[in-house]
Amino acid sequence: MATDQKWKKTALLVIDMQKDFILPEGAMRVDGGQAIVPNVITTVETARRRGILVVREHDPLGRDVELFRKHLYSDGKPKPTSKGSVGAQLADGLVIAEEDYKLVKTRFSAFFATHLHSFLQGSGINSLVVIGVQTPNCIRQTVFDAVACDYQSVSVIVDATAAATPDVHAVRLGVINNGKREFRRRKKKHHQQAYE
C-alpha cells in the first residue's frame, strides 16, 4: 500500500522524444536518441502500470528553439518539430495515452513559462522521474528547475536519457549530479523492466 501511494505522488516527464530529435535525418538529431527509444517505451509502460502520472511535452508549432539559434531555421528552412511535420511526431512505438498530461514546451525546461509546476502541485506530485533527450540541454534544465521548485525527489534514468555522444551524456550527468540528484538504471525483475 505504501508503494502504491508513492507512485501516486510521482510523475514521469518524457522530454523531446519526437522524430526530429531521434531519427538520423531529424532536424535536431541527437545521435544517442534512437538507441534509448526501447528503454523510454519500457519506462513509460512501467510507469503506467504503476499508476504514475506520465507528462508528455513538446511544442507542435516548432517554437522549441532558443532565440540564439532561430537563424538556423529561418529563410524557409524547416523548424524542428513543426506542426504537421513528420519530425513533430513521437518516435515510433511511443504513444500518448488519454490520461497523459500534455504540455507545450517552448524552451529547454519543461517548467519555463508553462503551468507544469502548478499542475503537479495540484495533483499532489512531489517526486519526478525524467527521461528523454537531450541531457546537456532539456534534461539538465528541467532537472535544475525541478530542484529549484523543491520537489522531494528528482531522478534521471540514465539508460532512458541520451546526448549527442556517450561522453557528453556522462559529463552532463556529472554536472546534474552536483545537485545530488538520483540516477537510476532500469533493471530486469521477473522478466519485466522496473526502476531500481
Read off the C-alpha cell for 143. 532537472
**Cβ pair 55, 109 in contact under 8 A:** no
Asked if the model's pLDDT at residue 194 lies above 60, the reply is: no
Angle at the Cα of 42 from the Cα atoms of 37 and 44, rounded to 5 degrees: 95
Whole-number Å distance between alpha carbons of 22 and 17: 7
Bridge-based pairing of strands 101-103 and 182-184 is unpaired
191 band by pLDDT with thresholds 50, 70 and 90: very low
Count of CB atoms situated within 10 Å of the CB of 25: 9
Asked if the model's pLDDT at residue 73 lies above 50, the reply is: yes
The residue-averaged pLDDT of 109-136 equals: 95
Asked if the model's pLDDT at residue 123 lies above 80, the reply is: yes
Whole-number Å distance between alpha carbons of 91 and 174: 27
Condensed to tens digits (0 to 9), the pLDDT of residues 15-65 reads: 999 999 999 998 888 999 999 999 999 999 999 999 999 998 766 565 556
- Domains along the sequence of the chain with CATH: 2-195 (3.40.50.850)
Asked if the model's pLDDT at residue 8 lies above 80, the reply is: yes
